[in-house]
Structure 1
Amino acid sequence: MVAESSQATVDVSAVMNHPPRVRAIKQVLGAVADGIQPVVDLWRPYVDGLHNLPADGRFLLVGNHTQGGAEAFLIPYVVRRQIGVRVRPLADRQFGQIRGLFGDLLAAFGGVVGAPETARELMRHDQTILVFPGGGREIPKFKGEEYTLRWQGRSGFARIAVENGYPIIPVGLVGGDDVYRSMTSRDSTWGRFSQALSGRFGGRQDMAMPLMRGIGPTLIPRPERMYLRFGTPVDTTTPAGVDATGWAEEVKRRTQTALEQILDDLLGLRETDPYRSLSPLGWSRAARPGSP
């Protein structure tokens, strides 16, 4: 799940009105979500800041993407479990316009194309929305880029939130960038080659892939405990006498600063967690970092 995208026209009516096949899949996914609580509890992610979630569900979650991708599933799960609302992730156009079964699954999960008009439609219906402003380019991390935000030129989420008076909840996840370890830096020989290859065949050098490994030399994901925090809401109400465009940039800056602080705090908190290095079977006894 990623972020805002281009200005191309999308089917806005389909945002809130799914065909019967998608509604059927949505019912199945809801039943599955209700039944996986014991599994998630065994996995024992660290979660805090739940008191920052407005009970009415009218807010925009703004998060960081990781290589493991756990944030795309853990955030909606935790929010649904806490306040009983379905989160609507904004998906990158290349994913959001996929047809067939995968497209139906994405729609049933709540995902929509991350275009401005779809975000506005969701806000008109007071939906809970999730966006990753870094988009797909924030997923592949070269060595040294773990838990960094790549929001250059991405301020549309703040502009639309300001237009609609939508509060923003920064939400950070630590753990996902350690599922795979990057072995190459962006300025290495492989990094330059990968960027050139990505630009040649995908038209975007920022989607270059590093050389990665999971457990040992394999691509089997490393078992990592996840640390999730919901931050204090960012008020998007435009102050009297303040230019709306300038205020949107300020809202973006405040959101990014808050999220970067959350990530720094979680990285520090993880260092004190005695359960971090245990096997996943040991996580069932874990509560809070530093607890006995």
Structure 2
Amino acid sequence: MASNALSLLPSCCRSPSIFRHEPTSSSPLLSTRSKLARTTRLAISTDQTPVFTTSTATALSESDKTKTKTEEEHLALEDDVGDDQASEERASLNQFFEQAKGLLRSDDQYGQYGTGTPRWFSPLDCGSGTPSNHDSPLLLFLPGIDGTGLGLVRHHQKLGKIFEVSCLHIPPKDRTPFTDLVKLVGRTIRSEHDASPDRPIYLVGESLGACLALSVAALNPDIDLELILANPATSFSKSPLQAVLPLLQFMPDSPNLSLPHILSTITGAMVASLEKGVGGLPLPQTVGKLSRDIIEPSISNLSVLADILPRETLLWKLQMISTASTYANSRLHAVKAHTVIVSSGRDPLLPSQEEGQRLKSLLATCQVRTFEDCGHFLFLEDAFDLLTVIKNVGIYRRSKERDFVSDYIPPSPSEVKGIMEKNRLVNIIMSPVMLSTLADGKMVRGFAGIPTEGPVLYVGYHMLLGFEIVPLVTQLFEQKNVHLRGIAHPMMFLKTKNGSLPELTLYDDFRLMGAVPVSGKNFFKLLSTKSHVLLYPGGVREALHRKGEAYKLFWPERSEFVRMAARFGAKIVPFGAVGEDDIGDLLLDYEDQMKIPFLRKSIEDLTAEAAKVRSTVDGEIGNQAMHLPGIVPKFPGRFYYKFGKPIETAGRKQELRDKEKAHELYLEVKSEVEKSLAYLQKKRESDPYRNLAARLQYQAIHGFASEVPSFDLD
């Protein structure tokens, strides 16, 4: 993996709009955005503030130069972010080293090679941002032990389309104390906040940079920050690198002792120490692996590694990490910013998985995402995509409050493909039957009757636990290129710190595909943007129904969605889905569980924790008690979907303002859903392939990609 080749080389960053760069066309690493009108300066930790001049730009490596994109070259945000080809091409490991060499050469203007003070820069491959880049939030990258600020090199192009990206560069010979780095970043975010109070600031840090981000957030609780931390070095006290510190202090000072050489030497020293019975040191195999991981893939770049982390710099950085870990840990109680921790499952340097859970328990609002097969330098892993994480977690916003419609970033083709592959087995096993109705009332197989142009409102029945959603959303997207955005329960977007509701990770794919919390505001915005919207009037009560209630609708006696659809001339597509009774039997329902004391207590706690979406509705329709039904799995049957004839509301806005007229249409939609359910329940009895064994036999003969037949249509 790429991370192994840079086993001790974290981080990357770029320059904030507090440092308004003058256009610098000759710089391969500086953005030339015209919006940066004010004079830009490099942030440093001393009183001096040298201007990043053209001479600095020309000192950068010529091989790194790329063309700056013009506004005309940028596509609309939705298309731009969704392009998985050249626009999302990631930099190779060699480009990392080439750009690192360029940055080190640029330090020359401040003195000797590799000297200078910490400063911000804007990677050119972040592009010019979106066409409305002035509305983009600011992303500051805080590097780890390498200090180059190039740790996000694989992510620059994607991030540059939706963020204004700035990276912090710490020259190898710089000896700015950690507390001064905290002040430097603090001044930056304070200035940015003062200039744009409503603009959120994202601090992305890895290892040492994560400690820096936490420390800055603790000292600035009044600033709107979002933290994204990769393998935080707050667990440095448990790192095998602790053993490196005393050994480095006694090693001879030599320009030939770069990081790989040092680790190789330390490996032998540790073996000797262990053979003598000296306890307290990590296993020699661990350090041996670190040495091999760095040396073997990086022979051609040893000179760059030696420049980035010579012995004295490595010693300084390890001592700084120790200080940073203590400093950040002592201030965790003061961190109020929402935090996302991305942890590696195979981190040889830090106990990152355990640390992620520890920090989650200590921070005010924190989510953790773990990547089991990744190493320490997560941002350099091929399998890791920072923008996908941001989408999954649902933290992208352009102002203080997130707008679930205008701030939404559509999934890229690779992200959609990942979701499809993840659910491929479900679609194969369930082999869903999709039926739709044409405008003339004729029923056909597939989605030919589904409108292509929005706005379209899909109104249907919610199976037990929402089993029908995955085949519905994925197949509509795959076969019809319809991006269905669901109106979802708020529990998919918010979880209390120590609550008992399901972990938010379970709903990552739903957020990625554009689900929004149920609200009139979100519903209005989706229809106003001509979206395809999925609505279940029965809500939780329908999805968590009791025994004997399968395929029974629990709709409130309100017709608001009809009038909202008419306001935008949306087509209403009623649909039914059956098959839940073919995959499991309901053993313990709500009534059963309420008779068991400890389960009743659990239901009461869950219901109290979950947001109320029908607090004004009385009776069983408003009783959306949260519980997990006890289900006994069955040999899988099959899912069936029937989409009714689209109901036009265009031109009926005035007519449907009348409550009685609106209610009539509401009852028509409900009746169509019930008719679809009844039709499917009856017709599936004549399906020769309703049983999984029959379908598998058919697919074994005709191929698993083939469509399995079902019943004859009337």
Give yes or no for TM over 0.5. Answer: yes
- Determine the C-alpha separation between the residues in 1 that align with 2:541 and 2:656: 32
Q: How does 1:149-160 map to 2 (within 5 A)?
A: 149-160=553-564
**Percent sequence identity over aligned pairs:** 23
C-alpha RMSD of matched pairs (Å): 3.4
Select the residue among 236, 241, 251 that pairs with 2:649.
236
Cross-structure match for 1:281? 696
Structure 1 243/183 Cα, relative in aligned 2: closer, same or farther at 3 Å?
same
1:228-284 CA-partner distances (Å, limit 9, x unpaired): 111111223427656432232222111100000000000001111122234252463
CA–CA separation in structure 1 for the residues paired with 2:429 and 2:627 = 32
Moved more, 177-186 or 123-132: 177-186
Pairing 1:65-80 to 2, within 5 Å after superposition: 65-80=462-477
Counterpart of 1:173 (choices 577, 602, 614) is: 577
Distance 2:687 2:638 in 1: 10
Q: How many residues matched?
A: 272
Q: Over residues 59-89 of structure 1, what are the superposed CA-to-partner deviations in whole Å (9 max), with x where a residue is unaligned?
A: 1111111115232112212221232121111
Residue 122 (structure 1) aligned to one of 519, 526, 533: 526
Contact map agreement 1:12 1:117 (CA 8 A) in 2 = no
Deviation at residue 115 of structure 1 after TM alignment: 0.7
Change in 2 beyond 3 A, CA 1:232/1:193: farther
What residue number does 1:202 align with?
Answer: 607
For residue 53 of structure 1, the aligned residue among 437, 450, 460 is: 450
1:214 paired residue among 626, 632, 637:
632
Alignment deviations for residues 167-204 of structure 1 (CA, whole Å, 9 cap, x no partner):
11012111024422124677x66567799764576257
* TM-fit CA distance, 1:14: 3.4
Q: 2:416 aligns with which of 30, 51, 68?
A: 30
Residue from 487, 491, 514 that aligns with 1:110: 514
- What's the counterpart of residue 252 of structure 1? 666
Question: Which among 256, 259, 268 is matched to residue 682 of structure 2?
Answer: 268
Structure ranking higher on relative contact order (CA contacts 8 Å, 6+ apart): 1
Q: What is residue 86 of structure 1 aligned with on the other side?
A: 483
- Are the aligned partners of 1:92 and 1:114 in contact in 2 as well (CA < 8 Å)? yes
CA distance in 1, matches of 2:565, 2:450: 16
Letter in 2 for 1:289: F
**Distance (Å, rounded) in 2 between the aligned partners of 1:209 and 1:201:** 7
The residue that corresponds to 2:88 in the other structure is: none
The TM-score, its normalising length taken from structure 1, stands at 0.78
SS of structure 1 residue aligned to 2:666: helix
8 A contact 2:566–2:656 mirrored in 1: no
Q: What is the CA–CA distance in structure 1 between the aligned matches of 2:454 and 2:480, rounded to whole Å?
A: 8
Measured in 1, the distance between the counterparts of 2:679 and 2:508 equals 37
Q: Report the AA paired with residue 710 of structure 2.
A: R
How far apart in 1 are the matches of 2:554 and 2:689? Answer: 30
1:87 aligned partner, one-letter code:
L
In 1, the alpha carbon distance for the partners of 2:533 and 2:415 equals 18
> Does 124-133 or 106-115 show the bigger shift?
106-115
Structure 2: any 5+ residue segments left out of the alignment? 1-399, 437-446, 496-502, 609-621, 703-707
Distance (Å, rounded) in 1 between the aligned partners of 2:665 and 2:511 = 29
CA 1:26/1:275 → structure 2, altered by over 3 Å: closer, same or farther?
A: same
Unaligned runs of 5+ in 1: 1-9, 216-220
1:142 deviation in Å?
1.8
Residue deviations 1:108-136 (CA, integer Å, cap 9, x gap):
12101121111111111111111111111
Structure 2 length normalisation: TM-score? Answer: 0.34
Contact 1:142 1:210 in 2 (8 A): no
Rounded to whole Å, the distance in 2 between the matches of 1:103 and 1:34 is: 15
